[in-house]
Amino acid sequence: MHYWSASSIFIIFLYLKFSRTVLDLSSFFEINRWEKTWCDSFFYLQDSSVVDPEYVIKTLKTTRWLTRYTIIPNTNTFICSDSIDNLTDSWKTLTIKWIDRHQWCKDSINKKFIEWYDFPRNIEVDFVINVNPNKVIAVYELNKRCYVWQRWIWLQIHEWLNKNLLFALMNSIISLFFIEAAWFWRGLWALDLNSDKIKNLKILDPSLLNAEQMTWIIEKFNALKQREIKELDEELVSSDRVEFDKYVLECYWVLDYYENVKSALLQMYNTRISVE
């Protein structure tokens, strides 16, 4: 399918229009895609009693229950970096048996850690984006930092920044526009995002806001967090969402482009959904 239609050119125009008010997402976050475990049945536990309790940690694995902006990790995951000698000395017999029963995983798992059975993690993260979100476009926060499954792009915020403000800005209509555009320009044959694409995404520059504007943006977004997220075509016409998006654009002196942004976002969204 050829993309260089009049609507595509208009999307590029909007992209350029907001270039002076946005920064790269990587200015505020460490960003990557999680590693595959190559042995999910070993790490993600159906029954947490098969290992010693101190090696069971809640992580985010599922991508099926995306109804709220705040996600509570609920997957029991085996995470252990102790050596077999230490486990033996500490009488961690359940854990030793679990590892022994899964020696067949050893050749499949990335061996960059000292112990082959150490969970292939990078860092505990703050926010996630689904690499293939279907009809709900959002950036999600975790109720606490944790490890996540490979079907997520993860973001860890730089410690000194205003987490609540960035979370709100990442879910404004402008950020949703840039996220959807990342799929749009990849083409219909490659709908998944990757971490490189996310690093190049844009976010409205928080330094352009005054203290009162920051407070109101957070407060208006908090109203959205109190309810379930809707499919994008319904979400964008919800009264609380409209109020939030219009206020954000007003703060950045681009309110006149609200209808244009919404129209372009829905056009890209509908094009993607039509082939998924």
71 with 24, same domain: the answer is no
Whether residues 96 and 16 share a domain: the answer is no
What pLDDT is recorded for position 13?
Answer: 76
Instruction: Write the pLDDT tens digit of every residue in 192-207.
Output: 566 566 667 889 999 9
Query: Is residue 126 one of the residues assigned to a domain?
Result: no
Is residue 115 in some structural domain?
Answer: no
> Is 18 found in the same domain as 70?
no
Domain boundary among 58, 85, 105: 105
Domain termination site, one of 105, 123, 142: 105
With left for phi above 0 and alpha for psi between -120 and 50, is residue 57 left, alpha or beta? beta
- Is residue 196 domain-shared with residue 245, that is, in the same domain? yes
Q: What is the pLDDT of residue 2?
A: 42
Within the chain, which residues score under 70 in pLDDT?
1-11, 65, 110-113, 121-122, 184-199, 276
Whether 257 is in a domain gets the answer yes
Residue 143 domain flag: no
Counting every residue written for the chain, the total comes to 276
Q: Which amino acid would we find at residue 88? A: T
pLDDT in tens, 139-156: 999 999 899 888 888 899
Task: Answer for the pair 102, 31: CB distance below 8 angstroms, yes or no.
Answer: no
Residue 86 in any domain: the answer is: yes
CA distance 146 to 56: 12
Average pLDDT of the chain, as a whole number: 86
**Domain, as residue range, for 17:** 6-29+162-273
Q: Are residues 173 and 260 in the same domain?
A: yes
- Token representation of residue 270: 């509908």
Say if residue 186 is in the same domain as residue 249: yes
Q: What is the count of structural domains for the chain?
A: 2
CA distance 151 to 148: 8
Same-domain status, 10 and 97: no
- Tell me, yes or no, whether 216 lies in a domain: yes
How far is Cα 74 from Cα 44, in angstroms, rounded to an integer?
Answer: 11
Same domain, 180 and 226: yes
| 235 vs 115: CA distance, rounded Å | 46
Whole-model pTM?
0.87
Residue 132 placed within a domain: no
Co-location of 64 and 19 in the same domain: no
User: 105, 125, 149 — which closes off a domain?
Assistant: 105
- The answer as to whether 149 is a domain residue is no
Both 17 and 73 in a single domain? no
* Per-residue pLDDT at 190: 44
- Are residue 266 and residue 203 in the same domain, yes or no? yes
pLDDT tens digits for range 88-99:
999 999 999 999
In this structure, the answer to whether residues 189 and 232 fall within a common structural domain is: yes
